[in-house]
Structure 1
Amino acid sequence: MTRKPRLPDRALQTQVRDIIDDVRARGDAAVDEYTLRFDGRKGTDALKPQEIRDAFSSLDRQTLTDLKEAAARIEAFARSQMQAAESLRLSGSGTGSGTTMLPINSVGCYVPGGRYPLPSSALMSVIPARVAGVADITVCTPKPTPATVVAASLAGATRILPIGGAQAIAAMAYGTADIPRVEKIVGPGNAYVTEAKRQVFGEVDIDMLAGPSELMIIADNSAEPSCIAADLLAQAEHDEDAQVWLVATDDEVISEVTRCLERQLTALPDTRVARSAMVKAQVSVVDTDSAVTIANRIAPEHLELQARNAEAMAARCRAYGSLFIGAWSAEVLGDYCAGPNHILPTGGAGAYRGGLSVMDFLAVRTWLRLDERQAREVLPLAERLARVEGLDAHAKAAGRRLRQDP
């Protein structure tokens, strides 16, 4: 069982680089031109208050209620994360030092608006930033639907810009007359958006380089085959390049899930994308220990454990974007409303980072404050280490305080 490698697309890289360079050179005029070319509209102005009110008015009552409930659940989870983001002070061994957790000043949140607009991504990106204390939050989303506008507003966006693609990333990274520069860009997007984030990293910070959606399910014969099939299809319908893996401890599980998949596929209104992704699905029958080893090697974006010993298995899983333990912990709940974030690492990045959280919007800054007695305890050590490294000026900076060297 393997992961499909990410291969660089040189033509796409060049096209994105040209767009970024053009936006840097010509600002709003370039953004206007690309937005007209790719989205059929012009304008770099943020949505006006009346346009946002119109979006609220056009939304049916149930959808508005649902967005508010999802927002509340996501915010409650983010606030619980903030409890772990505490500043600290260390005193002892002759030192006074500590860390201060401070929010960054400004963030750009990209919210997809293509084949399937994602108002949930507005909630997932903006709410943790606001909870972390970010003062200025820009949302860029192409062809925004009323639901996306309402979600961004409920989440706490400072402004909502109806632009997308590489031109939106470039505008947020470098700033234009109409679009303020941000310090960090977060959120999922298509290949052009992801490549643009890669190219502007360093000018601004980014969250991650998210690729096509991924789901691995580890299941034994206690799992419900129809639920496994439904969860696999839920990921497969995102993208023809979505990657799904089913790791089972029993051949019969594979057979039953395969039968359910075909029945459920025929019931979907549009099967093309899901069927294309499922053709490339990978299945394996192994024991529980091997299943955990596979999961830790693949590091999937989403990892579901539908097995009798799901809790014990979870304790051994070390690499994933988000973990769903037990048959009732459906991945779709993480997509929308359970609380944990759905902006997650893909392409194996789950081996070294988790999903978007309040921590992504906090800068961990250290400080040092010593009086003369405390400093004299450590200055000789600093001076000796500087001489070990051959950095004479460093050594003299320490020595001057000890001996007032000329």
Structure 2
Amino acid sequence: MRPSRLAGGTPEGLAAQVRALAPDPASVAGDVAAIVAAVRDGGDPALQGYVERFDATGGAPVRVASEELDAALAALDAEVRAGLEVAIANVGAVARAGVGEDRDVVLPQGHTVRLREVPVGRAAVYAPGGRNPYPSTVVMGAVTARAAGVQDVVVCAPGAHPVILAACALCEVDEVLRMGGAHAVAALAFGTETIRRADVIAGPGGPWVQEAKRQVSGTVGIDGFFGPSDVLVLATAGADPELVAVDLLAQAEHGDGTISCLVTPDAGLADAVAGLVEDAQETGAVLAVVVVDDARAGLAVADAFAPEHLELVGAEAEALAPQVRCAGCVFVGRAGATAFGDYVAGSNHSLPTGGSARFASGLSARAFRRRMSEVHIGDAAGRLAAAGGPIADAEGFHVHARSMRVR
């Protein structure tokens, strides 16, 4: 796994070169569209056909019984359970801190607009179950939804791995569905005879799941579109090359399309890290080393790359933390391994990928809540009609104008 070595050029150019090292995934849009349409129009029979074809449930019902969750929890390794309980507590504390309060805004015309924030009614969390089970994704989604005030939380658990079922039991989710893939997303978006539609679908997944989320996003709320993972480590003098290398390799465990990138002004550090990762086992991930003139130039590359995870290591890099503008989550200091954020730090590990941290945010309580204005006009009607009536007339909506003026 020899890392690619890059240097010179603009921050945007270097960031683009690193991204170009990972191949574009094949498009599955057409196949996903066919599955989504079949489930939308065919309901349970179509869904069951895809479940039997793709989910290998062995004839078990799609909806996981509470007794099976209880059994999975009872059989869970004690240390894994203790770790999940720490994660649940920390993620919940951070998520609850992000829930806004209602407030009233009194405007000059004498009326009041109350800004209310309300949770959605039903949230679905997709917990991937492909090569590896991800109980941590259950925690990130279900705990955050519950902290947002969602009363009905459902988890999609393709494969129904016991550790995922145990995590669902610990998180006290309301329903667990033994299905995954594009057909599961379609069922949750449109509903079937036995699957109630959700208001929001959250969580990572492979290309089929992400494409399905994209296609149904006008029908249901979506937390974001999560592609291959990435980490960028901005390291300056004082950074430990072994720690930097292990963090790059840890991210590479995510496999095909993953990008692990070191940016540093220290050529010696670059050489040391490159040597440590060169003989690592092949994972299908991309490793890159970018040498820049100084720490600020490195920050410019990081902002242009807009990584899912950004680590700042070394005194100069760490001092730049307040100036970071484009990253899904920032980990500061020698101890700040991205892996902590994946599990127990309390920050959410569902983060914007593919450079979308330029405009998108990680999963938070806001994904499961919506703002709503409650307007009290009262005695301000005349003053507002004097302002709004002419605008409505200018637009040709004369009944709008009358509706205001007759008050």
C-alpha displacement of 1:43: 4.7
Q: Structure 1 CA distance, aligned partners of 2:301 and 2:274?
A: 21
2:129 counterpart of 1:107: no
Distance in 2 (alpha carbons) for counterparts of 1:92 and 1:198:
39
Question: Cα 1:240–1:286, aligned 2, differ >3 Å: closer, same or farther?
Answer: farther
Q: Specify every segment of 5 or more residues in structure 2 that has no aligned partner in the other structure, as ranges.
A: 1-13
Task: Give, in angstroms, the shift of residue 386 of structure 1.
Answer: 2.3
Shift of 1:308: 0.4
Contact 1:45 1:178 in 2 (8 A): no
Q: What's the counterpart of residue 228 of structure 1?
A: 244
**Residue aligning to 1:404:** none
The separation in 1 between residues aligned to 2:244 and 2:318, in whole angstroms, is 18
Q: Which moved more, 1:310-319 or 1:235-244?
A: 310-319
Preserved CA contact (<8 Å) 1:130 1:156: no
How far does residue 38 in structure 1 lie from its aligned partner after superposition?
Answer: 2.1
Q: Is structure 2 residue 96 aligned with structure 1 residue 89?
A: no
For 2:185, the equivalent position in structure 1 comes to 169
Provide the C-alpha distance between the structure 2 equivalents of 1:57 and 1:289, rounded to a whole number of angstroms: 51
Residue 268 of structure 2, aligned match among 252, 257, 282: 252
Q: Give the secondary structure class of the aligned counterpart of 2:193.
A: coil
Decide which of 84, 88, 95 is 1:71's aligned counterpart: 88
Q: Residue 315 of structure 1 aligns to a residue in which SS?
A: helix
Aligned residue number for residue 277 of structure 1: 285
Q: Which one of the candidate residues 32, 52, 64 is aligned to 1:47?
A: 64
Q: 1:323 aligns with which of 313, 327, 330?
A: 330
- Count of paired positions: 388
1:348 aligns with 2:355: yes
Q: Specify the alignment match of 2:375 in structure 1.
A: 368
> Paired residue for 2:395?
389
The amino acid across from 2:39 in the alignment is V
Deviations 1:326-361, CA, capped at 9 Å, x for gaps:
121111100000100000011121111221011111
Q: Report deviation, 1:190.
A: 0.3
C-alpha separation in 1, matches of 2:82 and 2:26: 42
**1:158 — aligned with what?**
174
- Tell me the amino acid that sits aligned with residue 328 of structure 2: G
Contact conserved, 2:23 with 2:257, CA < 8 A, in 1? no
Letter of the structure 2 residue corresponding to residue 131 of structure 1: A
Deviations 1:74-121 (A, max 9, x none): 112112222xx1111012412211210100001111000011111000
Aligned residue among 47, 71, 74 for 1:57: 74
Q: Once the two structures are superposed, what CA deviation does each residue of 1:185-222 show, in whole Å capped at 9, x if it has no partner?
A: 00000000000000111111100010000101100121
Structure 2 Cα separation of the partners of residues 44 and 301 of structure 1: 37
Residue of structure 2 in register with 1:15 after alignment: 31
2:163 is matched with 147
TM-score by length of 2: 0.91
Summarize the alignment of residues 175-186 of structure 1 with structure 2, pairs less than 5 Å apart.
175-186=191-202
Distance 1:312 1:371 in 2: 53
Question: Does the 8 A contact of 1:6 with 1:347 survive in 2?
Answer: no
Amino acid at match of 1:387: D
Relative contact order higher in (CA < 8 Å, ≥ 6 apart)? 2
Alpha-carbon separation, structure 1, partners of 2:237 and 2:196 = 54
TM-score, structure 1 as length reference: 0.91
State the distance in 2 between where 1:101 and 1:80 align. Answer: 14
**CA RMSD for the aligned pairs?**
1.7
8 Å contact kept, 2:127–2:157: yes
Report sequence identity in percent. Answer: 36
Look up the match of 2:305. Answer: 298
The structural deviation recorded for 1:282 is 4.6
* 1:400 aligned partner: 406
1:213 to 229, 251, 257: 229
Rate the CA distance shift 1:189–1:314 in 2: closer, same or farther, 3 A: same
TM-superposed CA distance for 1:183, in Å, is: 0.8
For residue 227 of structure 1, report the CA deviation from its aligned partner: 0.7
Asked whether the equivalents of residues 209 and 345 of structure 1 are also in contact (C-alpha less than 8 Å), the reply is yes
Which one-letter code corresponds to 1:76 in the other structure?
A
Once residues 90 and 303 of structure 1 are traced to their aligned partners in structure 2, the CA distance between those partners, rounded to angstroms, is: 38
Partners of 2:273 and 2:393 lie apart in 1 by 67
Q: Secondary structure at the match of 2:320?
A: helix
Aligned match of 1:377: 383
In 1, Cα distance between equivalents of 2:164 and 2:131: 13
Q: Summarize deviations over 1:209-254 as a string: whole Å, max 9, x none.
A: 1000010110012101011111111111102100122110111111
The yes-or-no answer on 1:80 pairing with 2:105 is: no
Kept after mapping to 1: 8 A contact 2:307/2:354: yes
Assess, with a 3 A threshold, how the Cα gap between structure 1 residues 44 and 25 changes in structure 2: closer, same or farther.
farther
